[in-house]
Structure 1
Amino acid sequence: MEESKQKVRTKFDDNARRYDSQRKQLIPCFDDFYGIAVSLAASEKESPRILDIGAGTGLLSSFLMEKYPKASFTLIDLSEKMLELAKDRFDDNPNVTYLVADYAKYPFAEPFDLIVSSLSIHHLTDPEKAALYRTINNILNDKGIFINADQVLGSTPYLDKMYVTDWKAKVEASGLSAEAIAASYERLKLDIFAPLADQLNWLKQAGFVDVDCVYKYFNFVVLFGRKETA
């Protein structure tokens, strides 16, 4: 498993500089995918504590920062080079903390009001996904919200093949170079997608309430869960 994570780190280190510029071409539903994730990030606090899991270049956090400019952000990712780009993006913002670490193992000590993730948790094994959801529930404050914008496995082989075929057709018509497309297909080999139904069950088993798939576009989904008041 550690070897697999090292491959993920290497691939994203290598692609760090090109990552954001390719997002809209690699995510056909980009605007809805990120826009809905941000719209779900509700907090009663003007300056919530937000954790971005697998934050990469800080793309999702940048959208959340527009909504909560006074929030404090913690960005955690395996790839140091990706987080270096996040540091450039946020220009030494004192309200942003960066952690180069494996979030599946990191001993989080402080609670958060909002925990978000985009296109990262699918790199974990299924037991790791379920364990991470339990950890997230444990470190959320009461009424805290978890949002996972990610990709899932089709519930049948037919559906999964349809999802992949549709995505490849759109990527190949997007204007990306042949080199960039080939690199994206290589990264796809590192993904460990899980069915949507399993993801929702793991969230419920972790203690979340109001669990839902709020948005779905083929295999792109935005999952929601809320921590009940103790």
Structure 2
Amino acid sequence: MTTTAASDWQRWQTSWDRQQEWYMPDREERFRVMLDAVEAVAGPAPRVLDLACGTGSISDRLLRRLPGATTVCLDIDPALLAIARGHFAGDERVTFVEADLTGPDWTDRLPHASYDAVVTATALHWLDTDSLRRLYGTLSGVVREGGVFLNADHMVDESAPGLNAALHALHTERQERQRRQGALDWADWWHEVAGDPVLAEPAVRRFALLGDPREPRPAGARGDRPTATRWHVDTLREQGFGEVRQLWCSASDALVAALR
């Protein structure tokens, strides 16, 4: 992929979507259910916080579906934020915040004290158990009363290990076939980013801050990170949310909704 100017931001968005879909074939269905919940709870013009927004995938779909919405896109990754800023350039409905969710004062950087909906996808699995528990507690004070928090991420139902293993094997076989046909994985995509003249500098900052995705992770690097859907449901209740339930799931992912 060769990029030269801001006119190629849509190409980067599309490239990011294709790479993510290689991991999650049901990604668009997951987004649809998430936005159903936002509209059902918060109406046609919600104020939304897109948490760990990446390239702005959720906000892009949110604003196309609900043109009256406004969104705050927050992330720590300089390269992904560069793509998001380029993609949404000139759209006054979108505000950007660069912040670390593990820091004690990240909410001080937000332009609003509360939000109708807080949404996130394929992001919080990077946090360890204690950090995620603290974040859920903080979010119970960011979502307005009656608002909703939605987290779509890698979560599994641990009650069916045999079925999980069979589906994982099928998915892995499908991924390998798609790789032979030219699909990009996480590391490949970041090689493309690092080679782009517009994104090279924010990529260097990203690698220094968060590590280089082009390098294999050492064994055991994931550490203590929650993977069970039940953990997320129970912890959100413990941290101040009222109704909490799974809205959607696939073999490897789930969407959990928490009503404030």
TM-score bracket, normalised by the shorter chain, equals 0.7 to 0.9
Map 1:72-87; keep pairs closer than 5 Å.
Answer: 72-87=70-85
The letter of the residue matching 1:104 is T
TM-superposed CA distance for 1:35, in Å, is: 1.2
Distance 1:188 1:200 in 2: 30
Deviation track 1:13-64 (CA, whole Å, cap 9, x = no partner) reads: xx99942232222212122111111111134454321101110000011111
Contact 2:42/2:147 (8 A) holds in 1: no
The letter of the residue matching 1:174 is Q
In structure 2, the residue matched to 1:171 is 175
TM-score normalised by the chain length of structure 1: 0.80
Structure with higher strand content: 1
After superposition, the CA RMSD in angstroms is 2.9
Which one has the largest radius of gyration?
2
Equivalent residue in structure 2 for 1:35, among 32, 51, 63: 32
Equivalent residue in structure 2 for 1:135, among 134, 138, 144: 138
The letter of the residue matching 1:59 is S
TM-superposed CA distance for 1:156, in Å, is: 6.5
SS at match of 1:209: coil
Map 1:72-221; keep pairs closer than 5 Å.
Answer: 72-105=70-103, 106-108=106-108, 110-153=113-156, 155=158, 158=161, 161-162=165-166, 164-175=168-179, 180-181=184-185, 183=187, 186=216, 192-221=225-254
In structure 2, relative to structure 1, the CA distance for the partners of 1:226 and 1:38 (3 Å cut) is same
- Of all paired residues, the percent bearing the same amino acid is 19
Q: Unmatched 5+ residue regions in structure 1?
A: 1-14
In structure 2, relative to structure 1, the CA distance for the partners of 1:62 and 1:16 (3 Å cut) is closer
Q: How many residues align?
A: 213
TM-score normalised by the chain length of structure 2: 0.72
Distance 2:51 2:180 in 1: 27
TM-superposed CA distance for 1:163, in Å, is: 5.5
In structure 2, relative to structure 1, the CA distance for the partners of 1:187 and 1:49 (3 Å cut) is farther
In structure 2, relative to structure 1, the CA distance for the partners of 1:181 and 1:46 (3 Å cut) is closer
